Amino acid sequence: MGKVGTASGEVNGSTAKGNTYVFSKSFFLTREKYINSNSKFLLANKRDVAEFAKMFVDDCKRDIRRFVKEIIGPRNMLEFQLGGIDAGVRGGSTIHLLLRALILMKLLKHPDFEARLAEFKARISGFDEALKTRYYKKMDIVAQRAF
């Protein structure tokens, strides 16, 4: 898996931006490009197709395992979540993501916890009063807990 960089694109009619991660055998990689980048493949018969399919699946599984190992640690997960929030990726500011980020920051004793708490509260300040009150309360519970 590699970090490609900042990406902007259209996803389901809305703009998606932020860090983009791809597997070396990406879902965006066409079969033709995969075959061309693996010149040992000459798909001449059904056996060749089966061997190719097995290698492609094995490569994807290996890359996914690497991705999981990289993202599974709390610090890496927090960095990934904050990156999405900061970049404004689609869905990056959902209340659930904000709360998860706050919980991880609290657990990791992140030095920017209080600033992020204020920032996240400001993000939901436009919600209707009942929702805003409910979510502020949840954020305050996270802030008050000693993990």
Each residue of 29-84: pLDDT tens digit? 555 665 566 655 566 677 777 877 888 788 778 878 877 777 778 898 898 889 88
Please give the residue range of the domain that contains residue 32: 2-71
Is the same domain home to 52 and 92?
Answer: no
Do 129 and 87 belong to one domain?
A: yes
Same domain, 8 and 44: yes
Number of domains forming the structure of the chain = 2
46, 71, 96 — which closes off a domain? 71
Dihedral Cα 23, 85, 79, 63, nearest 10 deg: -10
Q: Quick check: pTM over 0.85?
A: no
Query: Does residue 128 share a domain with residue 91?
Result: yes
